[in-house]
Structure 1
């Protein structure tokens, strides 16, 4: 998927926000319809029935009829696909969308005439009922683009992503294999001994972020000051996210080019980052420490790295059962609870038969 930075004018930005609002409104209506459905009762309305209801709603509500029917119908089609993925046990159940989060809409049926290049670094895409919107042409756009998605992040930045199927990276053919152990202090430790760390905010940026959070705590809810502080925090968070994504792309591309087989632990990240606060009757223990661990796991891009490796090197990523991987010697196979980095010398004297093994996950 090729993603570019949009540069809409103020009037175009207002029109894009209206499209986002209509798509979010219809998505939430579809979520509400399915939220009250229970097995054994009348089936929840599908895409065809929802489109008929949309036609009636556009006739009764001029504000909805002023929007693009293409954007609105595609929002319902995306929800139907999300429900199909949920029943297929490949994705979670679709949830509510909030204003300011998950803002965006999708356009399908793009023709070559809907995309043009103005200069070396500027291109334009045609959006229904908005017109030609400029974007920064930072990379090549693949031929055969059939759809695109317009999004707005919390920092107020607009992006357009053209849906294309990228070509997988060919294997080097050297029969080289590598194990990748993901951690919190070190993002990725390779079996070659190399340690890779995902970039984060620099020390001055972290200090500024802390000050902004303090200002946010003192700001009155609903005030303009609070909105400005939230926007400043969102910009810092977006900068951190961009750096992490860039690191994931470069690291996954490098591993796919240098190794024929890439082994990773089959970690259940959603379960590992679940909150430990518990319930009112059974509160959790060390909740703040667990929350810090969850933030550390998510900040290192564990899931993004494995996802991009699977897309760039299909069939060459091997997921290993993580049980006992940090306690097993690679040479003799002895498993011991003492087999940790700080305990390896003592472990080798007492348990490892060869003295040449090494305990390393992945």
Structure 2
């Protein structure tokens, strides 16, 4: 089948496509080769015209010797890899954020329904669109890196929709710490957690796995002991059992790579080194073995 989209390359950066009813329209290339597509869509957003070609990306072949990599997603560090690398999604600069606040203040002071108000809102929207474009570009490149380098990519299974749910509440039952929760939601959404997971699945179909999230950040990556006190802070991990210490995100990514998630937490008694049995409600009458730490496979 031949291509239904007629395109011509003009130079290294520019090409043109034949739009029905409009004729030839130039567009800037974002890839080295012309896209092989059956259809395309032209849109206008934030004062700019965009053309998007419907192209199904070809899956990337596994390197066969890349092994397994664990990815722990966070707000401070976007993606901490189990091999020690830390990848951060690009954000707006301090100057750009100041420009957004400036445009928003001017829009708030402008008369309702005026052209000045609409113009200031449009300028702020263009800056926010710039951040979204950077996030999409980073996710595309990072997912390609993961698919080309590793055989299996494991992510923490996160319910991002529930994690970013508003805490505003209702009139009868208002929420608490609403402003803090709103700031956390913005920070999570700005990292592109879900987009990174989807892009990786597209490039490496069948090679992306989800690991249950519970206890991946509390489990020691060296001895396997699970204890809340080992998480000294948001950034530091110090195992109370073996003394292993490292970055908390890196330790969580090691557990994700090993597929160690959703394991019941052992409860330590007041005695030195003593442990208590993990008893479930359904089998409370049956004797349960004591947890003495869960070693890595």
With the length of structure 1 as denominator, give the TM-score of the two structures: 0.63
Deviation for aligned residue 1:199: 0.8
Corresponding residue to 2:38 among 143, 146, 151: 146
* 1:210 aligned onto 2:101: yes
CA separation in 1, counterparts of 2:92 and 2:20?
38
CA separation in 1, counterparts of 2:9 and 2:107?
42
* 1:163 aligned onto 2:74: no
Q: Please give the root-mean-square deviation of Cα atoms over the aligned residues, in Å.
A: 2.1
* 1:130 aligned onto 2:22: yes
SS in 2 for 1:264: strand
Q: Does structure 1 conserve the Cα–Cα contact (< 8 Å) formed by 2:5 and 2:38? A: no
CA separation in 1, counterparts of 2:124 and 2:2?
38
Q: Does structure 2 conserve the Cα–Cα contact (< 8 Å) formed by 1:326 and 1:339? A: no
SS in 1 for 2:230: coil
Deviation for aligned residue 1:137: 3.2
Gaps of 5+ in 2: 257-297
User: Whose strand fraction is larger, Structure 1's or Structure 2's?
Assistant: 2
Gaps of 5+ in 1: 1-109
Deviation for aligned residue 1:116: 2.4
Corresponding residue to 2:166 among 253, 275, 278: 275
SS in 1 for 2:84: coil
Structure 2 matches for 1:166-181, cutoff 5 A?
A: 166-181=57-72
Structure 2 matches for 1:1-362, cutoff 5 A?
A: 112=3, 114-117=5-8, 119-120=10-11, 121-139=13-31, 140-143=33-36, 145-153=37-45, 155-342=46-233, 344-345=237-238, 347-348=239-240, 352=241, 354-356=242-244, 359-361=251-253, 362=256
Q: Does structure 2 conserve the Cα–Cα contact (< 8 Å) formed by 1:261 and 1:317? A: yes
Deviation for aligned residue 1:294: 0.5
Deviation for aligned residue 1:301: 0.7
Judging changes above 3 Å, is the alpha-carbon distance between structure 1 residues 341 and 171 closer, same or farther for their aligned structure 2 residues? farther
SS in 2 for 1:220: coil
CA separation in 2, counterparts of 1:192 and 1:118?
41
Deviation for aligned residue 1:330: 2.4
Tell me the number of residue pairs that the alignment of Structure 1 and Structure 2 aligns. 246
Q: Does structure 1 conserve the Cα–Cα contact (< 8 Å) formed by 2:70 and 2:154? A: yes
Q: Does structure 2 conserve the Cα–Cα contact (< 8 Å) formed by 1:326 and 1:360? A: yes
CA separation in 1, counterparts of 2:232 and 2:79?
16
With the length of structure 2 as denominator, give the TM-score of the two structures: 0.76
Q: Does structure 2 conserve the Cα–Cα contact (< 8 Å) formed by 1:115 and 1:123? A: no
Deviation for aligned residue 1:304: 0.8
CA separation in 2, counterparts of 1:138 and 1:322?
36
User: Whose helix fraction is larger, Structure 1's or Structure 2's?
Assistant: 1
